[in-house]
Amino acid sequence: MNKNKQDNKKLRWLILVLPLVILIGVIIAVQIMRKNPGIESTSGEPTTHNIPTKTISVQSELTNDATQDISTPKITPSTGSIPEDLSTQMTYEVIQTYPHDPGAFTQGLIIHEGFFYESTGLYGQSSLRKVVIESGEVLQQSDLPSEYFGEGLTIWEDNLVQLTWRENVGFVYDLADFSLKDQFTYSTEGWGLTHNGSDLIKSDGSATLFFLDPETYQITDRITVTYRNDPVNRLNELEFINGEIFANIWQTDNIVRIDPQTGNVLSWIDLAGILAEDSTTANTDVLNGIAYEAETNRLFVTGKNWPFVFEIRLVPQS
Ligand SMILES: [Ca+2]
């Protein structure tokens, strides 16, 4: 009997004191966190960094959440939404739809002599491809080592130039046989790549476009892309078209037309809905890929893991 009484006493004491101990512990922890706000950050990345990195895209791809990217609510002008100014808006008409490898995580797309050349991303899946426009058939492919994430692609003379995302390396291939001829380094991330006939033009996910000497790959100039003085961030795949730079804005359905001299956005192209909902899968990611054929004045767009490439015509928003 006595022992039972003693046990009951201990139990009551525990029930009374234990929550108090926990409460005091929580209060102390909160006080420490307030004094040291940095304690919450476990990564080495600066917390003030406000340009989203592509890690999100890769993660969403891996967690099959990618379709959410397409329905991301419109965001503020500085991060890429279309401003409510109809005079600068354009929309599109689809002229033709062609098949595209839904396993191609498109990061760069160009046309040369009637063929697409495409750079695909993701670690372990990055490649350089030559593709038949009409059928989507891959005629030639060179895979990157798994530690490289393929990015923007352009052609310079008889060379294909391909960026990598965070590896700070650009690869230069022979156009004919994809043999690696050269490589170069750069300090920022690599996103989109095009050229204007005298310089390579590179994006890095910010609002800055870098102009590079095509022989030395050194930066010769840079511009900040703005719309009404607001920087337009997340510039991704690029294409130089009739004296303008076209740029996909990452994680949106928008392409901006940029004046290469001033960096001013001339107009916004809204491509929302170009890939029908019933053509998407869990792997379908965002719009990315602009290719222009000057000889025929044809403009093509696609996206990461999209089943189609669309030939489009731009029309003013009515
Ligand atoms: Ca392009």
Domain assignment present for residue 298? The answer is yes
What is the extent of the structural domain holding 65? 56-316
Residue 240 CA, ligand 1 centroid: distance in Å = 8
Domain assignment present for residue 182? The answer is yes
266: left (phi over 0), alpha (psi -120 to 50) or beta: alpha
**Domain shared by 158 and 32, yes or no:** no
Residue 110 CA, ligand 1 centroid: distance in Å = 5
Residue 302 CA, ligand 1 centroid: distance in Å = 10
**Domain shared by 205 and 114, yes or no:** yes
Q: What is the CATH number of the domain that holds 311?
A: 2.120.10.30
pLDDT by position in tens, the chain (length 318): 455 556 666 667 667 667 766 776 666 555 544 433 333 333 322 222 233 333 333 333 223 333 323 333 333 334 456 666 666 899 999 999 999 999 999 999 999 999 999 999 999 999 999 999 999 999 999 999 999 999 999 999 999 999 999 999 999 999 999 999 999 999 999 999 999 999 999 999 999 999 999 999 999 999 999 999 999 999 999 999 999 999 999 999 999 999 999 999 999 999 999 999 999 999 999 999 999 999 999 999 999 999 999 999 999 887
Residue 85 CA, ligand 1 centroid: distance in Å = 26
Tens digit of each residue's pLDDT (9 = 90 or more) over 204-256: 999 999 999 999 999 999 999 999 999 999 999 999 999 999 999 999 999 99
**Domain shared by 72 and 11, yes or no:** no
**Domain shared by 36 and 66, yes or no:** no
Residue 27 CA, ligand 1 centroid: distance in Å = 55
Residue 292 CA, ligand 1 centroid: distance in Å = 8
**Domain shared by 163 and 263, yes or no:** yes
Domain assignment present for residue 46? The answer is no
Note the pTM of the prediction, 2 decimals. 0.75
Tens digit of each residue's pLDDT (9 = 90 or more) over 9-32: 666 766 766 776 677 666 655 554
pLDDT of res. 16:
67
Backbone angles phi, psi at 154, to 5 degrees: -145, 170
CA-wise closest residue to 317 among 258, 275, 271: 271
**Domain shared by 33 and 170, yes or no:** no
Residue 291 CA, ligand 1 centroid: distance in Å = 5
Residues within 5 A (CB) of ion ligand 1:
109, 239, 290
Residue 306 CA, ligand 1 centroid: distance in Å = 16
Residue 62 CA, ligand 1 centroid: distance in Å = 25
**Domain shared by 146 and 282, yes or no:** yes
Direct distance between the N- and C-terminal alpha carbons of the chain, in angstroms, rounded to an integer? 90
**Domain shared by 15 and 128, yes or no:** no
**Domain shared by 198 and 119, yes or no:** yes
CA-wise closest residue to 95 among 284, 292, 309: 309
CB atoms within 10 A of CB 78: 16
**Domain shared by 169 and 235, yes or no:** yes
Q: How far apart are CA 192 and CA 258, in angstroms?
A: 14
Residue 304 CA, ligand 1 centroid: distance in Å = 13
**Domain shared by 282 and 219, yes or no:** yes
